[in-house]
Structure 1
Amino acid sequence: MTPLSIAFLPLTDSAPIVVAAELGFAEAEGLALTLVRDTSWATVRDRLVYGQVQAAHLLAPLAVAVTLGLSQTPCAIAAPFKLNDNGNALTLSAEFAAALDPDPRNRVDDPEATAHDFAAAIGLHHRKPIIGIVHRFSSHALMLRYWLGYAGVNPDRDVTLRVLPPSLMTEALRAGEIDGFIAGEPWSSVAVNEGLGEIAAAGATIWKRGVEKVLATRADWAQANPDALDRLVRALAKAASWCDDPANRDALATLLARAEFVGRPAPLIAQALAGRMPLQKGSEPVEIPDFMVFNRGAANFPWRSQALWIYSQFVRWGMVAASPDSERAAAGVFRSDLYRRALAGAGTPMPGASMKVEGALSEPLRAGSHSGSLTLAPDRFFDGKTFDPEAISVYLKSLETPISR
């Protein structure tokens, strides 16, 4: 057996890694996985960068940021497998949410109107709104910026974005230190269940197929250990498929509820897995289609175009200067070549291309595949824009960014 250590945070989207370790998928590939539970993304990042673990459950934008040297000395990261699409939500205090549409369902269903309501509420609040984010380079923070920017809000001027570990969001909301937060599950469900906040928006309604977490390794480790990496990707592919099967939801929620993993009640975890969530304490659950996706619709394929969308947002918000070298490095983080190599003989349907125009699909689309039948899921952005990875500068010019620098 090949021993591998993987760092993770106690979040519902760690599920494929937990399932691979606990239900025999890794063992079947000759791997003995040790899961290292952490509390902050900075710690997970450092464990990976400094070689304390061989792989990590990581925010997709953080993998790109580490490669570009935006949070420390550059370290090339390889992400050969996406663990999930979506799975996050924006939760606001009752006081702040009261300035939005009174029907919580309308807020989630109409992200355009809710963004404008949020913008209008800023001036009515007793202070500049403080919104918790799990990391500056998180999928959630970029989605929040994108959503606010649509309504003319400058997230670097009009609100305060405060970085907190996901597990501390609810206590910060309870103490009045923040006015809301955007984070992965189960933390929005916990906040609603405890009467601390109301869900006002979901990542799945901002970008129907928003890139979320990835399996990350150091690029030099991936190059030196191709066989072990291939076996890990195969184990995760089988685990992700198991996680996405509705028949396994209760068992998955029970597994994740264990103290060594997510450590929260199984019913709270299960509602996000099912995409049926109450938006206020005591309210009936509402359906949010594809709230969290582990496998279907090519969710595990590391599209280089999605890495470039992340890069485009870094450029948009002044986090990195645009350059051909940075663009090339960002695209190279998502390793579709390694995904294809690992699953070549497994009969896994996979796209024939490594990039696509993001946001162009409003309906499911049968796509060309090297094996089997592949249907790509709708991937629209809420504002109807599309992202062509071959025309990033044109895309950025189309965004009226209220940035003040």
Structure 2
Amino acid sequence: MTMLYQPELRSLTLGFVPLLDAAPLIVAKESGLFSVQGLDVTLQREATWASIRDKVAFGLLDGAQMIAPLPLASSLGLGAAEVPMTTSLVLSTGGNAITLSNRLLQQLDLDPALLPCPLASGTALQQYLQQRPQQQPLRLATVSPYSCHHYQLHYWLNVAGISNRQVEVIGMAPSAMIAQLASGAIDGFCVGEPWSSLAQLNGQGTLVTSCDQLWHNWQEKVFAVSQQFADSKPQCYLALVSALLQACHWLKDIQTDSDKIEQLWQWLAQSQYLSLADTGLKSSSLFNPKVPQAFFGTELNMPWRSQAAFTLLQMRNLQQWQGPLNQPVLQQVYRPDLFRQVATSLGFNAPAADWRLEGSTGMQGEGSGFIDGMMFGMQL
């Protein structure tokens, strides 16, 4: 592959949180895809998404792997000072799961053979909570109040008929969740891999549903930069998106390619990345089949504005934000036009539309199926 753009800046620092879906950034670095585009990239590990957001906002990071709702939240000034951000590339779908402590699971009337199942586990939890109305609410953790994890957890609770009074949802760094689960400080969490698999491996928790079972094929991580960076260094931005889209393509069908899994393991396991050597996880179990995760596809990498609008709906439902869903900010934050430009230059197909009908009547339908069978469709 030849150099496609003329980046205005060659030396860059990009942020990531140590999760399996940081893989596209690590692959682009270790395989030389950044270098081919004339970029000298340093990857900087961060513990929390708030740190990622703030460092991109203040220019301490040139860009980063981000939870999909975060560029939108930052552009709206939710949770921090308003700093416009933008994304032209979805890095991954899936990879999240809800895990409950084994202490709690022992108190639920739930057949373990049914797991992971969102309806069975949600019903069992709801019945348990009905029987203990005077006790303290359960404490569940997510990685950020502006994350798919947070919205998917609340979606699951709502479908199960569990009220906000029965559950306290708190924020926590992914790397801290297993220890907090073991100590009894929290009763469960919603987090990206490999933390649910590690909790199960260590005997601290049980995976009760993947979030893909709640919102099928939903965007999870995006590559985001500040609007100021995208405007002032457009060629550099496109070069970054190009390298990362190629890295996503390298990860296509990664779960079935043993040679690639081993190579990816060697990269991810390094101490500066996910530091997996002492976790008990092995290359053969790097991807948990119970937690679907994908990195490349004609529609997967597309920054759909319809999914951004649905995120606004979740923000509104949880009273984080008030306003109409047809916000012009969607056009600023989500740039499918730039995705098409890069995809076409690499010979990849890209959807012609910016919006689509989200949801289906069943989990086998097209697009992103919701567990409750809802449909969501709108555009500016």
TM-score by length of structure 2 reads 0.90
Partner of 1:400: none
Q: CA deviation at 1:107?
A: 3.1
Alpha carbon RMSD of aligned pairs, Å?
2.2
Alpha-carbon distance between aligned partners in 2 of 1:45 and 1:198, rounded to the nearest angstrom: 30
Q: CA deviation at 1:378?
A: 4.5
Among 367, 372, 377, the alignment partner of 1:388 is: 377
1:254 paired to 2:266: yes
Partner of 1:335: 335
Partner of 1:323: 324
The Cα offsets for residues 109-168 of structure 1, whole Å up to 9 and x where unpaired, read as: x3223222222222446631100111111111100111111122233x220111110000
Q: CA deviation at 1:363?
A: 8.2
Moved more, 247-256 or 18-27: 247-256
Q: CA deviation at 1:102?
A: 3.6
Among 364, 379, 400, the alignment partner of 2:368 is: 379
1:243 paired to 2:251: yes
Identity of aligned residues (%): 31
Aligned residue identity for 1:160 = E
Partner of 1:115: 122
The Cα offsets for residues 74-107 of structure 1, whole Å up to 9 and x where unpaired, read as: 1111011111001011111112123445433413
1:79 paired to 2:87: yes
Alpha-carbon distance between aligned partners in 1 of 2:284 and 2:107, rounded to the nearest angstrom: 27
Aligned residue identity for 1:264 = L
Partner of 1:373: none
Q: CA deviation at 1:10?
A: 0.7
Q: How many equivalent pairs are there?
A: 365
Residues 1:271 and 1:154: Cα distance change in structure 2 (over 3 Å): farther
Residues 1:345 and 1:390: Cα distance change in structure 2 (over 3 Å): closer
Residue 362 of structure 2 contacts residue 373 of structure 2 at CA under 8 Å; is this kept in 1?
no
Alpha-carbon distance between aligned partners in 2 of 1:363 and 1:225, rounded to the nearest angstrom: 41
| Partner secondary structure for residue 81 of structure 1 | strand
Map 1:37-52 → 2, pairs under 5 A:
37-52=45-60
1:129 paired to 2:128: no
1:171 paired to 2:184: no
Partner of 1:222: 230
Residues 1:310 and 1:18: Cα distance change in structure 2 (over 3 Å): same
Partner of 2:39: 31
Residues 1:162 and 1:94: Cα distance change in structure 2 (over 3 Å): same
Alpha-carbon distance between aligned partners in 2 of 1:123 and 1:270, rounded to the nearest angstrom: 42
Q: CA deviation at 1:249?
A: 1.7
| Partner secondary structure for residue 219 of structure 2 | coil
Residues 1:152 and 1:390: Cα distance change in structure 2 (over 3 Å): farther
Map 1:6-405 → 2, pairs under 5 A:
6-100=14-108, 102-108=110-116, 110-124=117-131, 127-155=136-164, 157-244=165-252, 245=254, 246-247=256-257, 248-265=260-277, 268=281, 270=283, 274-276=287-289, 287-288=290-291, 291-323=292-324, 327-360=327-360, 378-390=367-379
Alpha-carbon distance between aligned partners in 1 of 2:206 and 2:215, rounded to the nearest angstrom: 20
Residue 272 of structure 1 contacts residue 292 of structure 1 at CA under 8 Å; is this kept in 2?
no
Give structure 1 regions of 4+ aligned residues with deviation exceeding 4 angstroms: 269-273, 361-365
Residues 1:361 and 1:21: Cα distance change in structure 2 (over 3 Å): farther
Alpha-carbon distance between aligned partners in 2 of 1:76 and 1:104, rounded to the nearest angstrom: 45
Residue 70 of structure 2 contacts residue 146 of structure 2 at CA under 8 Å; is this kept in 1?
yes
* Runs (5+) with no aligned partner, structure 2: 1-8
Aligned residue identity for 1:292 = Q
Alpha-carbon distance between aligned partners in 2 of 1:359 and 1:303, rounded to the nearest angstrom: 13
Residue 7 of structure 1 contacts residue 56 of structure 1 at CA under 8 Å; is this kept in 2?
yes
Residue 99 of structure 1 contacts residue 117 of structure 1 at CA under 8 Å; is this kept in 2?
no
